[in-house]
Amino acid sequence: MADKQQTIKKEVTFEGRGLHTGNKTTITFKPAPVNYGRKFVRVDVENAPEIEAVVDNVVQNDSVDSLRGTTLQVDGVEVHTVEHVLAALVGLEIDNVRIELNANEPPIADGSARPFVDLLLEAGIEEQDAERAYLVVTETVDYIVEDKSIEIVALPTDDYRLTVMIDYQNPALGSQHSGLFNMKKEFVSQFAPARTFCFLHEVEGLIEQGLIKGADLDAAVVIVDRQLDDEDINRLREKLQLSGEVTLGKTGILNDKQFRFKNEPCRHKLLDLMGDLALVGVSIKAQILAARPGHKSNIEFARLLRKLYKKQQLTRKYQDIDKKDVIFDINAIKKILPHRYPFLLVDSIVELEPGKRCVGVKNVTSNEPFFPGHFPGRPIMPGVLQIEAMAQVGGILLLNDETDVSNKLVVFMGIDNAKFRRQVIPGDQLVMELEMLKARRNTFKMSGKAYVKGQLVCEAEMMAMVVER
């Protein structure tokens, strides 16, 4: 994989109809500067809003259209069925591009990514003077939906590979598998041409749901899985507004169309997976194994990977190397908090969801400076310092994403409902969990709980304010 970011050399345009909306669309790819990313721009909407191609912007619902394609939305402005465009960009390793649309869905063309790939190759690909960002998978990440036998797994490797298996238990399709192991050598010729497909029994249902308004038999492979009489065929032709002949054929595909590859449906599923995982927002180094994937499961897996990427970025902001099971080590904590010996009471941060939750650890040793006086002969960690340790974890939660933490302080304003459940003594490991309750401008309310060996030892609600030093 290339180490430098890439964009296209010139502007290129393509016209067609959207698969589900049926809208006539002009799509224009334009060069973009470094770190711009991939953004769809609705030029038909006032102020031409940009919609970044990241999973945070995916429409979340369980309607049929969410299962038949991936929709992005920002402030009520949508772009439907983005996966083929994104797969083309990933396959050609194009990081930065402005994608202008004069309607709400890219053209479906022949149902594959090849028209977009051909167009982008015509534009030419240009290396940029900036390093490419990567999500590097260092341990297994998996997503399982047991009742649908769906499983997607990411395994560590030093490049990007995908393997997909599908099984529709249909004689015309059967079980299929496919794998992409070398993007540069295989994507353009072996995967970009794979077309979208559906089963004949699904077509009328999709029409009734208000989908595939732009469909025709050149935009998808329709697999025959039930018999139709002449009346059914005429009704299908009328609903799809087809002018040509429609026949069941003998190949198992409507109108006896030929597969471009023996396992073309599986290759298209891999293409869809590539497009959906583009919504992680950066290039990926991982081996992806997917059994029976679909858009909904792809998106949920992309959410897991993007969350992992954000965690890695946060860690690297404050420490040079990743450490297993640690978000911030003690050196990183010192870059965020101003506290120092003998008042720094957090050794590591092991979980962090910015703006939501933070978990820190304090290893309580016999060398703590407060034990000689609290109490001689029977060392017990003062409850007020347990509260302070939780407050420092809260400080990490509030400051971790600040641009310049050196100019910020967390000042605590109040403590409510403090309770101490049991003593904390030398040898204990204090695990502190802080959860955000309210956030308003620069004031915050958090709930804190501290545990030793899974038992609650201390809890309190804390109010704090972020101020300039």
Q: Which of 48-52, 125-129, 216-220, 439-443 is predicted least confidently?
A: 216-220
| 201 and 171 housed in the same domain | no
| 255 and 269 housed in the same domain | no
Could you tell me if residue 321 is inside a domain?
A: no
| 223 and 173 housed in the same domain | no
Is 396 in contact with 333 (CB distance < 8 Å)?
yes
More confident residue, 247 or 344: 344
| 83 and 189 housed in the same domain | yes
The CATH number linked to 189 is 3.30.230.20
Give the active site residues: 295, 374
| 337 and 281 housed in the same domain | no
Q: Which of 50-54, 90-94, 243-247, 321-325 is predicted least confidently?
A: 243-247
Average pLDDT over the chain, rounded to an integer: 89
| 117 and 230 housed in the same domain | no
Q: What is the 3-state secondary structure (H, E, C) of 420-454?
A: ECCCCCCCCEEEEEEEEEEEECCEEEEEEEEEECC
Backbone angles phi, psi at 407, to 5 degrees: -105, 10
Is 84 in contact with 273 (CB distance < 8 Å)?
no
More confident residue, 375 or 243: 375
Could you tell me if residue 251 is inside a domain?
A: yes
* pLDDT tens figures, 170-226: 666 778 999 999 999 999 999 999 998 877 766 666 656 655 554 566 667 777 766
Percent of the chain with pLDDT strictly greater than 70: 85
More confident residue, 469 or 100: 100
Confidence (pLDDT) at 317 = 83
Could you tell me if residue 441 is inside a domain?
A: yes
Confidence (pLDDT) at 229 = 65
| 352 and 447 housed in the same domain | yes
Could you tell me if residue 216 is inside a domain?
A: yes
| 92 and 206 housed in the same domain | no
What is the tally of structural domains in the chain? 3
- What is the arithmetic mean of pLDDT over 412-420? 96
Percent of the chain with pLDDT strictly greater than 90: 71
Confidence (pLDDT) at 400 = 81
Measured between alpha carbons, how far is 120 from 99 in angstroms, rounded to an integer? Answer: 11
Measured between alpha carbons, how far is 82 from 50 in angstroms, rounded to an integer? Answer: 14
The CATH number linked to 358 is 3.10.129.10
Does pLDDT of 232 surpass 60? yes
Measured between alpha carbons, how far is 56 from 290 in angstroms, rounded to an integer? Answer: 22
Could you tell me if residue 316 is inside a domain?
A: no
> Could you give the C-alpha distances from 342 to 339, 367, 368, 462, in angstroms and in order?
8, 11, 8, 22
* pLDDT tier for residue 164 given thresholds of 50, 70 and 90: very high
Q: Parallel, antiparallel, or unpaired: how do β-strands 160-167 and 175-180 relate?
A: antiparallel
Structural domain boundaries, residue 437: 330-468
| 368 and 388 housed in the same domain | yes
| 305 and 410 housed in the same domain | no
* pLDDT tier for residue 249 given thresholds of 50, 70 and 90: low
| 372 and 303 housed in the same domain | no
Strand, coil or helix: what is 353? strand
Confidence (pLDDT) at 393 = 97
Residues 6+ apart with CB under 8 A from 2: 93, 127, 132
Listed residues 259, 285, 301: the one ending a domain: 259
More confident residue, 60 or 72: 72
Could you tell me if residue 318 is inside a domain?
A: no
Does pLDDT of 11 surpass 70? yes
Q: What is the pTM of this model?
A: 0.79
Strand, coil or helix: what is 223? strand
Does pLDDT of 228 surpass 80? no
Measured between alpha carbons, how far is 289 from 153 in angstroms, rounded to an integer? Answer: 5
Q: Which of 234-238, 355-359, 373-377 is predicted least confidently?
A: 234-238
* pLDDT tens figures, 205-220: 665 665 555 456 666 7
Could you tell me if residue 393 is inside a domain?
A: yes
Confidence (pLDDT) at 63 = 46
| 134 and 204 housed in the same domain | no
- What is the arithmetic mean of pLDDT over 350-359? 91
Measured between alpha carbons, how far is 44 from 41 in angstroms, rounded to an integer? Answer: 9
